[in-house]
């Protein structure tokens, strides 16, 4: 078995596994349950998607195509500030709602 993709988290690994299985390539996830030990383990390269040696080249092409379709780092680096402002607004509204709920009960 060869590793065809190193995932940031289990959800990403399952997406890649499903993508490969849509192309009739059996895929396997390893390290999925190690994420709970992040305090004791390195925090990257824990979750990996593997395929049989014979399927590696075709799987690598599918994964490469998927990676090419992902937004670039430049786009992602501009988004967090805007989404962080939006999130903090919603958190503020939520906390205000909780406060009003407590005061009215």
Judged on CB neighbours under 10 Å (0-12, 13-18, 19+), 62 is buried
Q: What is the DSSP letter of 72?
A: P
Q: Over range 66-86, report the average pLDDT.
A: 63
Residue with the bigger pLDDT between 44 and 28: it is 28
Instruction: Read off the pLDDT of residues 31-54 as tens digits, 9 standing for 90 and up.
Output: 876 655 555 555 556 789 999 999
Asked if pLDDT for residue 12 goes beyond 80, the answer is: yes
**Tokens 């490969």 sit at which residue?**
20
Asked if pLDDT for residue 73 goes beyond 80, the answer is: no
Among 13, 60, 66, residue whose Cα is nearest residue 35: 13
Whether 4 contacts 49, CB under 8 Å: yes
Among 38, 32, 33, 29, residue whose Cα is nearest residue 3: 29
- For the entire predicted model, the pTM comes to 0.60
Whether 70 contacts 16, CB under 8 Å: no
Phi, psi angles (nearest 5°) of residue 27: -130, 155
Give buried/exposed letters for 26-35 (b at 16+ CB in 10 A, else e): ebebebbeee
């Amino acid at each position: 078995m060869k590793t065809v993709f190193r995932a940031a988290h289990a959800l990403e690994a399952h997406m890649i596994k499903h993508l490969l299985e849509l192309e009739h390539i059996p895929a396997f996830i390893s390290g999925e349950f190690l994420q709970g030990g992040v305090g004791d383990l390195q925090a990257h390269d824990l979750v990996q998607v593997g395929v049989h040696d014979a399927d590696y080249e075709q799987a690598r092409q599918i994964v490469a195509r998927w990676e090419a379709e992902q937004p670039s780092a430049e786009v992602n680096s501009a988004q967090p500030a805007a989404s962080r402002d939006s999130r903090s607004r919603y958190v503020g509204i939520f906390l205000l709602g909780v406060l009003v709920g407590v005061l009215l009960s």
